[in-house]
Amino acid sequence: MRSQLDLFAAVLLAANLGFANPGWAQNETRIKLGMETWKTAGCTDCHGPFADGDKQREESPSGPSLRERTHHTVETLKTVIGCGRPGSDMPAFEDGAYTTRQCYGRDLGNAPGNMYPAPARLTTDQIDALANYLLARVIGRGPITKAECLAFYDEAQNPLCDGFN
């Protein structure tokens, strides 16, 4: 009986570490790439580090909180990130949006004139990773937790996270 329990524990450990499901480790790598993209592409300027609408730069437009929303899919997120939202302050981050790739059915070269400029240009791979990060770690998650804060800063302790439970 003891050896069966040890074997069961080893199988559970392997599954948790991604050995039993190699896709898990790959997904976690994509989510980390998405989080790094979130941190470096200017997303935090408008939406805040935790996508709660607490923007980091006063001169940036105020982005909505993404933490309470639940109706997004990976495809809708990729479209909004890549093509922006015409008529709003959400910029088009995809290099080639409206010029080499159609957005929202518009003819190429027919970009909306009222869009906020993107602080960075992203590849389709970065946009995909960013959308997956948002779905896995942000959208529908509700209030920020201390664990999320520490994961964002990649630290075991950070005084900025002390106010979270």
pLDDT, one tens digit per residue, over 65-123 is 999 877 889 999 999 999 999 888 999 999 899 999 999 999 998 888 777 889 999 99
Q: Per DSSP, what are the bridge partners of residue 101?
A: 97
What global pTM score does this model have?
0.79
Please tell me the least confidently modeled range out of 3-7, 36-40, 126-130, 149-153: 3-7
Could you please state the CATH topology (level 3) that the domain comprising 23-161 is classified under.
Answer: Cytochrome Bc1 Complex; Chain D, domain 2 (1.10.760)
Residue 8 confidence (pLDDT):
45
Nearest to 140 by CA among 78, 62, 66, 64: 66
Domain range list for the chain: 23-161
In angstroms, rounded to a whole number, what is the distance separating the alpha carbons of residues 1 and 22?
Answer: 29
Residue 48 confidence (pLDDT):
93
